[in-house]
DNA sequence: CCTACTCGTGATAACCATTCTCACTTTGGA
DNA sequence: TCCAAAGTGAGAATGGTTATCACGAGTAGG
């Protein structure tokens, strides 16, 4: 684990909402002023591979990510108005990975729920 | 509905597997030789908006689509080896759209299952 | 017939998020 | 300390997708 990687991870920890790589670059530069974008992209790829980061869609052509613990298998709920994120248990229940459906052996799945968080549900706010 | 749009829809119908826009362009040109890529991209956007096409990930930086009926709410199972697609009922069951989770009002969700189809599960095949 | 307006089309240029290149530095173990 | 492997960063390149724009087909009204 290098100094740069630590900065990116710390920057990711700082977000309570979904963020783009650009957001992450800006945040990482607070602690590592000279960090290059290639390095951040590489850190993102590594973290995504390790389950520390998860893609939850895109906004204006840029990927949106969510900081995620590497613990239990679970999924995410993203507020389409403010980007707020909630971690929610896997709704598949008994139909877990490696089970069979329609003749397929299911090895993985991608689930993201979208909606409005409590704060945004109150106002008529809409974003992106 | 124009002639071009019909060609793209017909081309999409011809795929039993997930396909890229490039695949679609090639297929559409079988019946509409001069069709331009912009037209196909526009048709894809229209079909996606209408629920006739659904994005199921990407391969090598290109979006992967699946032809889909506009009927019941359901999701897809994609073979990571050959791209074969199966349509499968929504696993959320009672937790349908517009319900609440973690304080969120859930308005939509994105679910895709990945695995190996019966044919590919037999061989040791792996792709992309 | 005209005119005006809308919409789809397609060749092409532009965009721009992401990846690659390459020379250099850092890391961590022996 | 030494070294091979991995990481870094400025900049160039990539390439899927989108924006432009001139054109033609349809349509409604007169
Ligand atoms: Mn999480
Ligand atoms: Mn379907
Ligand atoms: Zn799950
Ligand atoms: Zn569903």
Check residue A26 and give its pLDDT: 98
Which CATH code is given to the segment(s) A1-128?
Answer: 1.10.10.10
Q: Where are the domains of chain A?
A: 1-128
8 Å CB contact of A104 and B91? no
- Name the average pLDDT for chain B: 90
Q: pLDDT, tens digit, for every residue of B29-64?
A: 999 999 999 999 999 999 999 999 999 999 999 999
Per-residue pLDDT tens listing for chain A (128 residues) = 899 999 999 999 999 999 999 999 999 999 999 999 999 999 999 999 999 999 999 999 999 999 998 778 999 999 999 999 999 989 887 656 567 888 999 999 999 999 999 999 986 655 54
Read off the pLDDT of residues B16-26 as tens digits, 9 standing for 90 and up.
Answer: 999 999 999 99
Minimal Cβ distance to A102: which of B77, B93, B110: B77
Give the model's pLDDT for residue B97. Answer: 58
Contacts of B1 (CB under 8 A, 6+ apart): none
Q: Could you give the C-alpha distances from B81 to A76, A104, B116, in angstroms and in order?
A: 27, 11, 6
Global confidence as pTM: 0.90
**CA A35 – ligand 1 centroid, Å:** 26
* Per-residue model confidence (pLDDT) at position B102: 85
């Amino acid at each position: 684990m290098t100094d740069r990687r630590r900065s990116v991870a710390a920057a990711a920890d700082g977000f309570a909402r979904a963020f783009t790589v650009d957001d992450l670059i800006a945040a990482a530069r607070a602690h590592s002023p000279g960090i290059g974008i290639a390095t951040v992209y590489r850190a993102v790829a590594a973290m995504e591979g390790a389950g520390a980061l998860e893609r939850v869609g895109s906004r204006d052509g840029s990927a949106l990510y969510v900081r995620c613990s590497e613990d239990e298998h679970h999924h995410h709920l993203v507020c389409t108005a403010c980007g707020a994120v909630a971690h929610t248990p896997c709704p598949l229940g008994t139909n877990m990975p490696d089970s069979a459906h329609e003749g397929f052996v299911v090895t993985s799945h991608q689930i993201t729920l979208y909606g409005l968080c409590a704060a945004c549900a109150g106002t008529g706010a809409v974003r992106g």
